[in-house]
Chain A
Amino acid sequence: MNETILRAEKLKAFYVLDLHGTQKVVKAVNEVDLEIYENEVYGIAGESGCGKTTLLKALFGAIEPPLRLMGGKVYYRWNGRRIDARALSREGSEIEITALSPEEKRRLRLEFASYVPQGSMSVLNPVLKVKESYQDFLASHVSGKTREQAFEMAKRHIAELGLPRNILEAYPHQLSGGMRQRVTIALATILKPRIIICDEPTTALDVVVQRGVVQLLKDIQRNLENTIILVTHDMGVQANIADRIGIMYAGKMVEESTTAKIYAEPFHPYTRYLINSLPKFGDKSDREGVPGSPPSLINPPSGCSFHPRCPRAMDICTKQIPGFTSLEADHKVACWLAGDGEHDQAA
């Protein structure tokens, strides 16, 4: 088993909105425990509005109002090079990301963890050539290099990833959506970060282009032997790239296991719906979607938040929130059907 590189404990991140004097709290990430290892692709899946993106923001320490961190901690394990920042100088130790100052966080980014945000096709500055964006990024993160040296570095990196070299001289609008997405991923990986956090990197792309992007991510992961945290609701993409998958529902992690197990023997009724509703080639039998509508995160249902849509809901489901229990060594689930073993009453 590889070493843990990122760990979250009872992470709670809420959006606190003030609307005409009444406070609304959106419980986007509610008590999430997470452990992600080195050299793996960890997939996070779930419907939109279930808190996937917020979880990534909390993990990356990108907390800005109205998002607030209400509790819990995120730890990074830093074994690599030394960064000139006090909190980061303790090599080999765990770093608590939320306790860092903004300057320390900035140094950690791109070199240790990088973030490919949603819709990253549009993050490139439209009035700058791609190479200028690269030079800006490098200038703020690599010290002691001239712009020319930085440009050389960018060129080498682009060539390594098999992208055409002339894209550096192009403006973003001259590139297709898929190419822009790959340019952004290349930019995020130029300093060989240990963790790459990708938020829906293939959504809004065509299937062939999507395959190209997944291919690029796989290649990068294989070469750098680092960790990719991949958020996408597309279970087909997850099956293709992820080593382990966590399923989120209404701000909580409801199931986590290896990819093979999630697809072969899903346990949580929600995961079962997700897997069984996928249309397959060569099988035209009727598929059923999840009944009902996604829950509101302002007023989540009592007990297990899936109980209004669950076909196997029991009495206890409406009253108590199930804890995240281990079924097997590498299969965790939050469901009362898993028996009442070590459910955390307080959760």
Chain B
Amino acid sequence: MTKLLEVEHLSKVFTLGSILSRARITAVDNVSFDINPAEIFALAGESGCGKTTTARIVLGFEEATSGTIIHNGKKEAKNEKVWITEGIQAIFQDPFATFNPLRTVDNYFFETLYNYSLTRDKKIAIEIIDHKLRQVGLSYEEFAAKYPNEFSGGQLQRISIARALLTNPTLLIADEPVSMVDASLRMSIVNLFKKLKDELEVSVLYITHDLATAYYVSDRIAIMFRGNIVEMGPVEQVLMNPKHPYTKLLRESIPEADPKKRWSKTVTLSELEHEEYLRKGCKFAGRCPDAKERCKSIVPEDVYVGEVLVKCHEYAGPLHP
């Protein structure tokens, strides 16, 4: 089966500070993953783990320091962004910030259709728009000539998804699509991704810190920590039987909606984010309960345990000098 998107050895380095005190932060460090057609792939981790940077590079907003992105078998070429935006569309975190409050939202739809030369006929445009809106549970009548403030957050996020669907993309990149949406409406957005996957065979790169919805919606998941993918595999195996100590910590820290399952153990929190970024060996070594000497100096290899990729010395077997 051909892959829809292949990301290979992607790295992004940011430099911090002035000329005198430079610090280099590898926000994305040698990240490789792929997405199959009609699959929801979750990229999860804490803020500052590099998941949004990865998405921005895939979307072409940011240039990678090294690495390649292959979409539908085609390699990314510099100065050629059209293949990206037509086949890959983005959905952003804050639906209120997605749309200009002084413009009616239907403007964006007509504009997208014109810009991609999908149609210049207004009647056909309205037909297409109505069709796309119905796929997300809205209709053209209740949407035409309205300003963003006339919709609720959940509705706006649906509209934002409908707009992304206009170009018939094969991949949606959703960066925290439900974190700004009300708890009561969250599930309807998440269910919508499922529906799009089943009916239109659209793949979704679902970027989130909410492991509970990631578990619910996605097929495969990658857990990122300080620029590295530390664990990747089928969601059922990664989240129900976590192997990397960081995944274990994340999994334990999710408040379960069950008063019988309260936290009993205490956690230690990281003091400074960029210290962890600058760590030589495993970046989690400072907080890991089972950290050994080698963890502090040697970067662990990616090891496959069954279908799951783990980046931890614990699974790498005996150390070869």
Tell me the A residues contacting B by CB distance below 8 Å: 47-48, 164, 176-179, 206-212, 214-215, 233-241, 259-260, 263, 270, 273-275, 277-282, 284, 286-291, 293-294
Do A294 and B182 touch (CB < 8 A)?
yes
Do A176 and B273 touch (CB < 8 A)?
yes
Do A277 and B266 touch (CB < 8 A)?
no
Provide the bound-state CA to CA distance between A286 and B260, in Å.
Answer: 23
Q: Which residue of B186, B251, B269 is within 8 Å of A178 (Cβ)?
A: B269
Do B240 and A211 touch (CB < 8 A)?
no
A-B contact count (CB 8 A): 135
Chain B contacts for A179, CB-based, 8 A? 269, 271
Q: Which residue of A215, A239, A274, A278 is within 8 Å of B266 (Cβ)?
A: A215
Do B183 and A279 touch (CB < 8 A)?
no
Q: Which residue of B46, B182, B266 is within 8 Å of A206 (Cβ)?
A: B46
Q: Which residue of B182, B187, B249 is within 8 Å of A47 (Cβ)?
A: B182
Q: Which of A238, A259, A278, A289 has the most CB of B within 10 A?
A: A289
Residue of B nearest to A45 (CB): B183
Chain B contacts for A207, CB-based, 8 A? 46, 209, 211, 250, 253-255
Given contacts A47-B182, A234-B183, A294-B152, contact A275 B256 (CB under 8 A): no
B298, CB-defined interface residue at 8 Å: no
Interface mask (B235-267 → A, CB under 8 Å = 1, otherwise 0): 000011000000001110111111111110011
Provide the bound-state CA to CA distance between A258 and B212, in Å.
Answer: 24
20 interchain pairs, CB-CB under 8 A? A207-B253, A208-B249, A210-B253, A211-B253, A211-B263, A211-B267, A212-B267, A212-B269, A239-B255, A260-B259, A279-B212, A280-B212, A281-B215, A281-B240, A281-B251, A284-B216, A287-B191, A290-B185, A293-B155, A294-B152
Q: Which residue of B184, B213, B216, B256 is within 8 Å of A290 (Cβ)?
A: B184
Do B263 and A176 touch (CB < 8 A)?
no
Q: Which of A177, A236, A279 has the most CB of B within 10 A?
A: A279
Residue of B nearest to A278 (CB): B257
Instruction: Report the minimal beta-carbon distance from A133 to chain B, rounded to whole angstroms.
Output: 20
Provide the bound-state CA to CA distance between A236 and B259, in Å.
Answer: 9
Do A289 and B188 touch (CB < 8 A)?
yes
Q: Which residue of A209, A275, A279, A293 is within 8 Å of B216 (Cβ)?
A: A279
Chain A contacts for B211, CB-based, 8 A? 207
Do A289 and B187 touch (CB < 8 A)?
yes
B154, CB-defined interface residue at 8 Å: yes
Do A47 and B183 touch (CB < 8 A)?
yes
B272, CB-defined interface residue at 8 Å: yes
Do B187 and A277 touch (CB < 8 A)?
yes
Q: Which of A206, A207, A238, A241 has the most CB of B within 10 A?
A: A207
Which parts of B1-38 form the interface with A (CB within 8 Å)? none
Interchain residue pairs A-B with the least CB separation, the first 9: A236-B255, A289-B187, A289-B188, A279-B216, A206-B46, A290-B184, A47-B182, A211-B253, A278-B257
Residue of A nearest to B250 (CB): A207
Residue of B nearest to A287 (CB): B187
Do A288 and B187 touch (CB < 8 A)?
yes
B47, CB-defined interface residue at 8 Å: yes
Chain B contacts for A284, CB-based, 8 A? 215-216
Chain B contacts for A209, CB-based, 8 A? 46, 269
Interface mask (B174-193 → A, CB under 8 Å = 1, otherwise 0): 00000000111111111100
Residue of A nearest to B45 (CB): A206
Instruction: Report the minimal beta-carbon distance from B148 to chain A, rounded to whole angstroms.
Output: 14
Provide the bound-state CA to CA distance between A277 and B263, in Å.
Answer: 22
Residue of B nearest to A182 (CB): B269
Interface mask (B124-158 → A, CB under 8 Å = 1, otherwise 0): 00000000000000000000000000001111000
Chain B contacts for A48, CB-based, 8 A? 153, 182
Provide the bound-state CA to CA distance between A287 and B217, in Å.
Answer: 10
Do B186 and A289 touch (CB < 8 A)?
yes
Provide the bound-state CA to CA distance between A235 and B261, in Å.
Answer: 13
Given contacts A207-B46, A294-B152, contact A281 B267 (CB under 8 A): no
Chain B contacts for A280, CB-based, 8 A? 212, 256-258
Instruction: Report the minimal beta-carbon distance from B198 to chain A, rounded to whole angstroms.
Output: 12
Residue of A nearest to B185 (CB): A289
Chain A contacts for B272, CB-based, 8 A? 176
Chain A contacts for B269, CB-based, 8 A? 178-179, 208-209, 212
Given contacts A206-B46, A277-B187, contact A214 B152 (CB under 8 A): no
Provide the bound-state CA to CA distance between A215 and B240, in Å.
Answer: 24
Provide the bound-state CA to CA distance between A237 and B271, in Å.
Answer: 23
Chain B contacts for A281, CB-based, 8 A? 212, 215, 239-240, 251, 254, 256
Q: Which residue of B153, B183, B260 is within 8 Å of A235 (Cβ)?
A: B183
Provide the bound-state CA to CA distance between A291 and B273, in Å.
Answer: 40
Q: Which residue of B184, B253, B259 is within 8 Å of A239 (Cβ)?
A: B259
Instruction: Report the minimal beta-carbon distance from B208 to chain A, rounded to whole angstroms.
Output: 11
Residue of A nearest to B246 (CB): A208
Provide the bound-state CA to CA distance between A290 and B215, in Å.
Answer: 20
Residue of B nearest to A283 (CB): B216
Chain A contacts for B216, CB-based, 8 A? 279, 284, 287
Do B184 and A236 touch (CB < 8 A)?
no
Provide the bound-state CA to CA distance between A179 and B251, in Å.
Answer: 21
- Known: A47-B183, A236-B256; 14 extra A-B contacts, CB below 8 A, are A47-B184, A47-B185, A179-B269, A208-B250, A208-B267, A210-B255, A215-B266, A237-B255, A277-B183, A279-B212, A282-B240, A287-B216, A288-B188, A294-B185
Instruction: Report the minimal beta-carbon distance from A266 to chain B, rounded to whole angstroms.
Output: 11
Chain B contacts for A215, CB-based, 8 A? 263, 266-267
